[in-house]
Amino acid sequence: MSSKPKKSAKTKASPAAPTRKKRYAIVGTGGRSAMFSHALLTDYRETCELVALCDINQTRMDFHNQEFCEKYNVPAIPTFHASRFDEMVETARPDVVIVTTIDRAHHRYIIRAMELGCDAITEKPLTVDSQKCLEILNAIRTTGRNLKVAFNYRYAPVRSKVKELLLSGVIGEVKSVHFEWLLNTRHGADYFRRWHRDKRNSGGLMVHKATHHFDLVNWWLESTPTDVFAFGDLAFYGRANAEERGVWKFYDRGTGSEAAKDDPFSLDLNSSERLQGLYLNAEKEDGYRRDQSVFGDGISIEDTMTVAVRYASGAQMSYSLHAYAPWEGYRIAFNGTNGRIELNHQESSYINAASGDVGEGVTKSEQLIVLENFKRPEIIEVPKGVGGHGGGDVVLMEALFGNPPEDPLGRAANHIDGARSILTGIAANRSMETGQAVKVDDLVRLSDWE
């Protein structure tokens, strides 16, 4: 008599191992860092973790921690003085270090993070001069680590639409670009109050601000700058210009100054809890004044600039930037073999970190027009972005911290894109100094690093 087969024992499925969160540290906790910390502590908290803050100023880090606790109901993030950067990496074990320090220090923390085994994300600009650029490129090659540059301007819907139109070939091959950028008397003046006013810190507006604009053109044209010629002057701000116009009043800083009260260019750090917490209360540690007079001494950057650029594709660009306009925004036109694309964009501005809203800035008006040869002009509908920088910030955060879909526009920027953008500005600075055109390859031959 045969026996019945035994029933096999059921195998219990092993519980899925929890997905490890990616770990991030932020070095440099001024106002610009808030965009990254906000994203990590809200939209990406399920997959990402902010594990450390690092700065030269403990008061500033404490202010952020208080804000994190009140706004996001999270415990205090461990803090480390910048002199303990290596200890921070060893203790907090970040996978990625986000660098939002003063521009001149970007290279230091990018390179050291990579040497210690971390990848890096850096705020623009990549750095401020060609030597520091070469040091970063060498560190990437030596360590094999990854660097991303936070170019949020690429991600705004209207600028992405321009890229789509150029890729479609609707105006043929682009032969020239005219690009005018205006900073108004609120936003523009702010660069002349802060650490940016010293060119050693920021590379001037040709590097700190225009890196956005030069990156856009490189990306739009899919080309590299080869030759640059520039003029630049401090023509509006600074003591000499104010005295010449008869509007100069002596005051060191806006906060607490009677002479500054009726000056529309002054800034009182008591006007905002955020400015007070991040800067005024933090002065006792590092002596940094966020509210210096824009009509004082010690300004070494330009406020009026004109640049001519030739690209490897053969296209040419005329570019201008000035920092004391009555409205803020830009006009750009692409002239191609089959027509022209025009984009006019007027936007409101902000004083960095003056608002608790991350990336404050509201588009006022924009118009995108395609003018094909021998055809009627066509006004292109552009979807409105939500959030800062014309909607670019939100999409950038997804690209950095989320799972973005494949992007046919190639908006993610790496270290080569970061270098390519600053080299236009660095070459412009060199041209202003020498009065001569500058070949970009004489600064850094990027083809050796690609």
- Indicate if the pLDDT at residue 292 is higher than 80: yes
Tokens of 414: 């790496």
Task: Return the pLDDT at 349.
Answer: 53
| pLDDT surpassing 70 at residue 53 | yes
Q: What is the pLDDT of residue 348?
A: 64
Q: What is the pLDDT of residue 359?
A: 42
Percent of the chain at pLDDT > 70 equals 91
Residue 150 has pLDDT above 90, yes or no: yes
pLDDT digits (tens, 9 = 90+) for 396-438: 999 999 998 899 999 999 999 999 999 999 999 999 999 999 9
Q: How far apart are CA 433 and CA 430, in angstroms?
A: 5
Label the pairing between strands 22-27 and 174-184. unpaired
Residue 318 phi, psi dihedral angles, 5° rounding: -105, 130
Could you tell me if 99 and 110 are in contact, meaning their C-beta atoms sit under 8 angstroms apart? Answer: yes
d(CA 266, CA 276): 15
Mean pLDDT throughout 80-91? 98
Percentage of the chain exceeding pLDDT 90: 84
Q: Higher pLDDT residue, 190 or 353?
A: 190
What is the pLDDT at residue 347?
76
**SS3 category, 310:** strand
Mean pLDDT of the chain: 92
CB atoms within 10 A of CB 131: 12
- 333-367 residue pLDDT tens: 999 999 999 999 987 654 444 444 444 444 467 89
CA distances from 407 to 31, 156, 204, 399, 411 (A): 29, 14, 32, 10, 7
